[in-house]
Amino acid sequence: MVKGIGPLYAGKPVKSFGAAVFDVIGQSPERPREIPAIGEVRARRITTAIAREIADEVLFPDTVDGQPCVSLAPLYDAEQSIAARVRRVKTSDPGPEFRLDSVEAAAKST
């Protein structure tokens, strides 16, 4: 969520300009006026809010399933940390008490 404009209006520039949204906002701040239902005041709010979030390194461009989107840096960082931990658990030997074959053998013997 972009502070000051909400998720609906934060998503409109991404849908309209795709992965180039940050370049568009930075180089042509008047371009959000091209988006349907965005007037001068709302365009200025969108441009200001997105520019502020980019400067504060809260937002960054991303792609999900081939679709351009905007990610929140703190959330992205948390997801990457969790993914790294899961990879470590999957690639390390968790010990005999956690091996699947031990659990299956124990289940069959009961």
Model confidence, pTM: 0.52
Give the residue with greater pLDDT, 97 vs 76: 76
Give the residue with greater pLDDT, 110 vs 13: 13
Q: What are phi and psi of 55, to 5 degrees?
A: -60, -35
Instruction: Note the pLDDT of residue 33.
Output: 92
Residue 82 within any structural domain of the chain: yes
* Domain around 29: 6-109
> What does the pLDDT look like over 44-93, one tens digit per residue?
888 888 788 777 777 777 777 887 777 777 777 888 888 888 887 777 76
- Percent of the chain exceeding pLDDT 90 equals 6
The H helix count followed by the E strand count for the chain is 5, 2
Confidence of residue 34 (pLDDT cuts 50, 70, 90): very high
Residue 16 within any structural domain of the chain: yes
Residue 84 within any structural domain of the chain: yes
Residue 26 within any structural domain of the chain: yes
**CA dihedral angle for residue 51, residue 53, residue 57, residue 63, rounded to 10 degrees:** -90
Residue 34 within any structural domain of the chain: yes
Give how many domains the chain has, as a whole number: 1
Residue 1 within any structural domain of the chain: no
- Percent of the chain exceeding pLDDT 70 equals 82
Residue 54 within any structural domain of the chain: yes
